[in-house]
Amino acid sequence: MMTIRFALIALLALSVGMASQADAQERALRVALVIGNAKYPDAEAPLKEPINDVRDIAAELKRVGFEVETGENLGSDGMRRALEKLYAKVKPGTVALVFFSGYGIQSSRQSYMIPVDAQIWTEADVRRDGFSLETVLNELNGRGAGVKIALLDASRRNPFERRFRSFSAGLAPVIAPSNTLVMYSAALSSVVSDAGTDRSLFAAELIKEIKVPGLTAEQALNRTRVSVTRASRSEQVPWISSSLAEDFAFTSGPTSTAVAATPPAPATIPRPEPAAPAPATAPPVPAPHPTASQPAALTPAPAPAPAPAPAVVTAPPPASEAPRDENKILLALADDPTVKTLNVKINENGEDVGALYRRGQVYASKGAYFAALKDFDAAIKLSPKDVEAYNNRCFVRAVTDDLSGALKDCNEALRLRPNFVDALDSRGLVNLKNGQSKNAITDFDTALKINPQLTSSLYGRGIAKQRLGQTSEAELDINNAKAMDPDIVKEFAGYGVR
């Protein structure tokens, strides 16, 4: 009888303790910052999804008891102020949540949320203008936040990645403090194309699961992952990392025992593997664009010898004979904030090599090739060992059919920096346009050994193999490149390669 009494007392104490813990969670301050960045000046058009998504997410978080601050199209100062305001609200035990929808980039194994006014041309610019997720989480933890939740819908193809390639696309794993839950809308180091819809699949499925009473936050996010994976037929598989030491539920109710099933692995996507293997969720890598790159950390065997130029090549027309379309482009770019800033710098100092080089990149990325060529000429004259400028001028000359000059520039870039992957990729394009298919394959092969996810080299190699009659191998490379970047065919056609 005494044993039963003690058992009942112990059971009562346990139930009271559990109720107290639940009550404490209910009473814990909940604060959230929800940011949607859609209008990036460097993008061809504003993103359609972020603004609607953040409004829907904010409304749902308010419904479940969060004190929510929202920000739309925030620049660097706006994001900094919004984060500082969030930090100021955090007290010991606070549940703090950050939702970001827009462009994200990883650099030095960290993920950065990008403000709309970011000026990104090199990897160092990402760290200067972006906001590190790890820094944000550590700051929240340092302020005493109990549960930290970060939800990033930022694994999108973005305009900045075309300017440098010494990085992995998509987002990086996060080293977060304890009691933290992080979710990305896509797998690590992978990106998804913007669907062009008014709302993202990720945000829509997340809201559905937040509404379910009694689900722990981990269960809600796992169910979101399964739903997104199934709805996208495994083309988009969200990533989750958790170090939660306590159960937290967005919506109160009876604790759910439902456990989300394991989502299909990305490798089940019916996609042929390239000859130089790339992950099934391989992110798109820019086609041969003017870039600024860092030397590869690991270098393979020395680059192959340059192919001899054919006897007949086409020289570019003089600048005065530049296509009329270029004059329209330059007229439109006159109002571009980046070009305006660079123009001021160059007017103040005509020997500002960095400004000349960056303006050349802007012109080239927008198709104003003859204006870009002038800037790269000036940059190289001022800095004869500027390997990046040689590579960019090689690319511009290749596109404008000065193939002999392009080959010389690429060879000089590779002399200055052996195994420079961008220059190998550019020289492959030159050889492809010169009709030197075997030499093009050699360059693309070497580039792909350094970076197996280099879409432009994969597609270029496919075209070269196609021309040599290696039909099955060509089809494999071309299909994989198109799967990684659906615009790659159109892009190469713009370079005069079909």
Question: What are the domain boundaries of the chain?
Answer: 26-268, 319-494
Q: Which of 399, 384, 408, 415 is nearest to 456 (CA)?
A: 399
The CATH number of domain 26-268 is 3.40.50.1460: yes
Considering the segment(s) 319-494 as one domain, its CATH architecture is Alpha Horseshoe (1.25)
- pLDDT tens by residue, 271-287: 333 333 333 333 333 33
What is the pTM (predicted TM-score) of this model?
0.53
- pLDDT tens by residue, 276-323: 333 333 333 333 344 433 333 333 334 444 444 433 333 333 433 445
- pLDDT tens by residue, 142-199: 999 999 999 999 988 777 765 654 445 678 888 888 899 999 999 887 788 766 688 8
The pLDDT assigned to 109 comes to 78
Higher pLDDT, 16 or 204: 204
67-71, 232-236, 372-376: range with highest mean pLDDT: 67-71
Average pLDDT across the chain, whole number = 79
